[in-house]
Amino acid sequence: DPRHSPSRGAQSRAHSRTRSRTNSVNGRFGADDFNFGDILGEGSYSTVMQATHRVTKHKYAIKVLDKGHLARNNKLQTALIEKNTLVRLGAGHPGIVKLHWTFQDEYSLFFVLDLARNGELQSRISKMGSLSVECSRYYAAQIVDALDYMHGKGVIHRDLKPENLLLDDNFRLKITDFGTGKILDSDVQTAKTFVGTAQYVAPELLENNETSRSSDLWALGCILYQMIAGRFAFHGLSEYLTWQKVKALDYTFPDGFDEQAKDLVQKLLVKSPTERLGAGEPGNPNDIMALKAHPFFASIDWATLWTIAAPTLE
Ligand code: ADE
């Protein structure tokens, strides 16, 4: 199936040209600077592949987007947003996948990204059923710290979920997939057609078509719940039924759910976006520092969060 290997196509096309033509018109990289390996993930318009830089032997994840398919579905803008969002985030945070370079050929756009060798947090949760409270605390803290940075740069993710949380060599978290990202120019944005994944979507998006930083905090509440409970906070038999539950705040905690985690989830899964813990502007009493100060995070040392060893996944 040709859809499954766009970059193999790109690579062999690149091979049929001379290195000097593909490699360095304006000093940029091209597909033939990399050896492509395994497929790491597939989306509707893209395939992520492992790739090794031929000269440095450094390994990356390269997201290959099919230009024709994007154009036919009016999604070229989405690809541009993803790139601009990643560029805006720069090299700045260990918890966010870094964009190293972009290039294109006739058929594809290529985003050269940090490789997160231990895959999606989703597959770990699925494999283990749920995560220990300690592990959940560590990953929730890493999400909070990355959100602090991202939101400070005026970027909201809008589709945070365990599939978009990758684990690097050291089992530290890296947020990826900014294809649904938004660069904020005012505080609250009206979403035109965008709706995230049903289980993590905030009620204001369903009710008023609004998103703000606070929608990412709602998703954090859903993710923390899921890590500990091993199931979705909101889940119906269809997307529509899930939305109904989100709008009605219809969820319950399983017996034995950690009390401090429960308190935090209850302060994040709040219908009014401005009242979620951490939703205030920087300097406001309810800013992200208030979220970091929640008792659930009492044992977290924010200064060494990205340098200490990750807890064993259990
Ligand atoms: N799957 C999607 N993006 C990835 C990345 N950057 N690293 C590893 N696996 C991925």
This model of the complex carries an ipTM of: 0.94
pLDDT in the model for residue 285: 94
Q: What is the pTM (predicted TM-score) of this model?
A: 0.89
271 Cα: distance to centroid of ligand 1 (angstroms): 32
Give me the amino acid identity at 2.
P
In this structure, the residue with its CA closest to atom 8 of ligand 1 is 116
39 Cα: distance to centroid of ligand 1 (angstroms): 9
pLDDT in tens, 271-305: 999 999 999 998 999 999 999 999 999 999 999 99
pLDDT in the model for residue 179: 77
DSSP conformation letters of 119-160: -BHHHHHHHHSS--HHHHHHHHHHHHHHHHHHHHTTEE-S--
pLDDT in the model for residue 6: 47
Q: Is the CB of 49 under 6 A from ligand 1?
A: no
Give me the amino acid identity at 95.
G
pLDDT in the model for residue 14: 39
Q: Is the CB of 116 under 6 A from ligand 1?
A: yes
pLDDT in tens, 54-101: 999 999 999 999 999 999 999 898 899 899 999 999 878 999 999 999
Our answer to whether residue 216 is catalytic in this structure is no
pLDDT in the model for residue 128: 94
Q: Is the CB of 99 under 6 A from ligand 1?
A: no
What is the spatial distance between Cα 14 and Cα 309, in angstroms, rounded to a whole number? 41
Report which ligand 1 atom has the smallest distance to the Cα of 174.
Answer: 6
pLDDT in the model for residue 13: 41
What is the spatial distance between Cα 207 and Cα 267, in angstroms, rounded to a whole number? 20
pLDDT in the model for residue 21: 38
Q: Which helix (H) or strand (E) holds 243?
A: helix 239-247
User: Best substitution site from 36, 49, 63, 113 to test ligand 1's pocket, by max atoms within 8 Å of Cβ?
Assistant: 113
Q: Specify whether the backbone of 214 is left (phi greater than 0), alpha (psi in -120 to 50) or beta.
A: alpha
pLDDT in the model for residue 216: 96
Q: How many CB atoms lie within 10 A of CB 178?
A: 27
pLDDT in the model for residue 204: 93
Q: Is the CB of 97 under 6 A from ligand 1?
A: yes
Which residues of the chain have a pLDDT value below 70?
1-27, 185-194
What is the number of alpha carbons within 13 Å of residue 188 lying toward its C-beta? Answer: 11
Q: Which of 105, 114, 148, 159 is catalytic?
A: 159
